[in-house]
Structure 1
Amino acid sequence: MARFDGKVVIVTGAGSGIGEGAARRFSAEGAMVVLSGRTAGKLEKAARGLDPERTLLHAADVSDPAQVQELIDATLRRFGRLDVLVNNAGIAVMGPVDDISLEDWRKVMATDVDGVFLCSKAALPELKKSRGSIVNVSSVSGLGGDWGMSAYNAAKGAVTNLTRAMALDLGPAGVRVNAVNPSFTASELTEEMLADEKLVAKFRERMPLGAPAMPDDIAGPILFLASEDARFVTGVNLPVDGGLMASNGQPPQA
């Protein structure tokens, strides 16, 4: 299947995890893919095996407006157009409001919220030309609260509702905006959580499908939302959570 032949896709946070998985899937389906992230070495590793003629690596910090604009400009210099933006770059800092520092709060907001705003704003002139698509990577943490994750919850909640607002504003221009909302996913961001066997067991107990997601489990829905298969879908926040949110919170019955 080659749903993205001739299409140009930018994936932020593409150096590992969900971003890397999505970039590889877009490439496999024919796209010209721009992998962006803060660390050039990680991007090089993530892009191994991809067709160099259809791949661009561009290191950038999505919280920096100048670097974001250069990412868009570099994409246009290389490929001449833009069809899909995947806003995946994100960080997490643990802690409740009374423990987290103002510096850490602002760091999370700068990447997780400002990054979505800045990348989308810079990409929109081209996405309007191509009648393209934005897919934001939010989280189930943006649909409900977690213990000890105040900054991350606030940031992903903002992304969730920004997705809806952008879909309303941009629909008349032919630009669709959707989000995926993953739950516990095996990635660089969750390495410490995965090492905690008791915590993983608690997640397994609550998730009907019984295991954390792998990056490719999230990449598939991202590609669907970006594709013509979803041409009448906009403003959606799609839980990709192994059934986690199907529960009303009651524990499994013995």
Structure 2
Amino acid sequence: MAGHSKWANIKRQKAVVDAKKGKTFTQLSRAIIVAARSGIPDPAGNFQLRTAIDKAKAAGIPNDNIERAIAKGAGTWSDGSVLEEIRYEGYGPGGVAILIEALTDNRNRTAADLRAAFSKNGGNLGETGCVSWMFAQKGVCVVQGVENEEKLLEASLEGGADSYEMTEVETGEVVTEVGNLEHLNKTLKEQGFQVTDAELRWIPDNFVEVTDTEQARSLLKLIDTLEKLDDVQNVTANFDMAENLMTASMAY
């Protein structure tokens, strides 16, 4: 998980900047719509919706917008557009596998935008199934303020976790099966840990090591370009890269 975890940390830092541009607002509002549509439109009984609402509030999205997104997901309010969840797959520079989760009301527009992003940045948009077999969807809890790693291990095992990894000083990511995410989240909180995020994430089964500076720059530019597209919700890639190379390559 090393390469992806470092990238996830950088993405969280970038999210503050992205929020000012409205990009994060759009993503989080759409996440609420999907969560409300896939379960009951009541956060008390819908963990995915409750988590999406918490993220939206943390980003400063007004309550009116949140309520409107819930109503749209529940089918009680409509602006005329119908959002569809689609997963796209492709290869970046150096053969890095890239998985994209999109939410769109026009799949032709989304596919064209993705194809252009790949072709301009040394990658190729592939067919369905070309890289998804390299990834497994898992539940991930991000825990901050970890002072005792042994206690985190014990709490993680009690919560039914598969593994955990310290990604920064006092910050860890605990991984579990998708269906166990709510239980793990609850267990960690009951044990006194500060869970700052609980999400479903595609995690690579293997990694491609990137060591070339130009290749690294092209890859990160491709991922950044994909993430800036309005219809894109999440981008996951199976690269591993030294942190100093990643940081240097961000200055493209």
Q: TM-score, normalised by structure 2?
A: 0.28
More strand by share: 2
